[in-house]
Amino acid sequence: MHVNGYRCTLCHKEFPYETDMLTCPDCGETGILDILFDYAAIKEVFNRKTLSMDHTNSMWRYRALLPVEARGWERFLRVGVTPLYRSNRLESERNLKALYIKDDGQNPTGSLKDRASAVALMRAKELGYDTVACSSTGNAASSLAGNAARLGLKTVIFVPERAPKGKVAQLMVFGANVVAVRGDYRQTFELSRDAINKWGFYNRNAGINPVMTEGKKTVALEIAEQLNFIPTDWVALSVGDGCTIGGVYNGFYDLLQLGMIDHIPKILGVQSMGCAPFVTAWQTGGPLLPARENTLADSIAVGVPRNPVKAMRAVSESGGAWVAVPDEAILEAIGRLGAAEGVFAEPAAAASLAGVWQAMDQGIIKPREQVTVIVTGSGLKDVDNAMRAAGEPFSCEPDIYALEKSGRIQYYIGIA
């Protein structure tokens, strides 16, 4: 492991890594930590040559850049190495030079969260924990449950009683120990925190635990490698707590330190207009203020983001931008990704493409630039909104004459 220590994102004090502390002891719960890497040592074992000879078909091919010893990674679910598709159709529609889609819905439990869960579970094992806990309404929970099941680790997962059925079904199938809390998400989060303190579970609460960001950075490492270390001008993704976008920045930052890329792409942070605390703070130049959570994109309905410093830094240090998109544009993007390329995105995942359109309308992304959009989760997570985006099928009696009379097939095949 090539880690030099922790540094607090607020007070910048440094701490040794050999402890299981999660946040800065001086700054408290908001004192999110950065993990500092020893790039000189990493260069010795990780470079384009070693990578080209490494046939590991998962995110563990980047283990030299992860804050874990990573022994026994072969037993984990296969997380990462998801496809990167170039979309000729979507790029010519908007006069982009290139548009790539990174489909992270293809991870084992259907979202990018698997990258964080895998590293969190490795770290929990290395610190000697046998039970991992988190609170979440969705992807973080099902991801933790699935990846822990494979490893035989116990989970205790807190969800609000009204959590979406599909995601609860994943939890139950993966055999998680689920506590459905009769209360809202804030109360669920607080109960999980109290239980973690009382019983001493490993805490996978996203945004707080710094190894999450490092797991998620593997998506950026993959994008770079898949593009032969010449990343696009922009990388766009949706933002809730801010852990994922912080990870994307860290991944490109690492590669820049190692001399494997010559610039960090501009990062476009996308939020829904119904819940856009980062966009508002960026536009007004003011502090981050709590926002209402009024969007159908449940995975980014985060009114009080828990990882603000890493998220803001990702956009400002990369020379990127923040945009907000209406829910209707998110639904439209679900349809375009599906019909143009066969990629099925959940609302929060399609928001990245809607954000690119919005940024082009605002003159932020220019024609002929190159863009990568990250699809962070599978549309099968949320079929109700998928049907809202795509509509209902034509309904027909089981009778060939009725079918012919309807003119539907003639219309489908263009002979109407």
Distances (CA, A) of 202 to 113, 197, 199, 213: 17, 10, 10, 16
Contact status: 349 vs ligand PLP (CB under 6 A): yes
Query: Would you give the binding string for ligand PLP spanning residues 95-114, x where CB under 6 A is met?
Result: ----------------x-x-
Taking a C-beta distance cutoff of 8 angstroms, is the pair 119, 211 a contact?
yes
Contact status: 34 vs ligand PLP (CB under 6 A): no
Which residue's CB is nearer to ligand PLP, number 314 or number 359? Answer: 314
Contact status: 244 vs ligand PLP (CB under 6 A): yes
Question: Among residues 209, 238, 271, 370, which is the contact residue for ligand PLP, using CB under 6 A?
Answer: 238
Contact status: 137 vs ligand PLP (CB under 6 A): no
Q: Report in angstroms how near the CB of residue 348 gets to ligand PLP at its nearest.
A: 4
Distances (CA, A) of 148 to 50, 111, 204, 245, 339: 30, 15, 12, 24, 34
Chain center to CA of 96: 24
Which residue's CB is nearer to ligand PLP, number 318 or number 376? Answer: 376
**Which among 34, 51, 77, 80 is positioned nearest to 374, based on CA atoms?**
80
Backbone angles phi, psi at 357, to 5 degrees: -60, -45
Contact status: 210 vs ligand PLP (CB under 6 A): no
Contact status: 379 vs ligand PLP (CB under 6 A): no
Which residue's CB is nearer to ligand PLP, number 258 or number 311? Answer: 311
Contact status: 243 vs ligand PLP (CB under 6 A): yes
Sequence-distant (6+) residues with CB within 8 A of 353 are 90, 101, 236, 333, 336, 337, 345, 373
Contact status: 139 vs ligand PLP (CB under 6 A): yes
Sequence-distant (6+) residues with CB within 8 A of 290 are 277, 303, 304
User: Three-state SS for 264?
Assistant: coil
Query: Would you give the binding string for ligand PLP spanning residues 155-194, x where CB under 6 A is met?
Result: ----------------------------------------
Q: Give the range of 8-16, 88-96, 238-246, 258-266 binding ligand PLP by CB under 6 A.
A: 238-246
Chain center to CA of 41: 28
Q: Report in angstroms how near the CB of residue 140 gets to ligand PLP at its nearest.
A: 6
Tokens of 391: 């509509």
- B/e letters for 4-14, b = 16+ CB within 10 Å, e = fewer, are eebbbbeeeee
**Which among 374, 361, 343 is positioned nearest to 89, based on CA atoms?**
343
CA pair distance 369, 366, nearest whole angstrom: 6
Q: Report in angstroms how near the CB of residue 13 gets to ligand PLP at its nearest.
A: 24
Which residue's CB is nearer to ligand PLP, number 302 or number 337? Answer: 302
Query: Would you give the binding string for ligand PLP spanning residues 293-332, x where CB under 6 A is met?
Result: ------xx-x------------------------------
**What is the H or E stretch that residue 352 is in?**
helix 347-361
Contact status: 118 vs ligand PLP (CB under 6 A): no
Question: Among residues 377, 385, 386, 389, which is the contact residue for ligand PLP, using CB under 6 A?
Answer: 377
Residues that bind ligand PLP (CB under 6 A): 111, 113, 139, 206, 238-245, 299-300, 302, 346, 348-349, 376-377
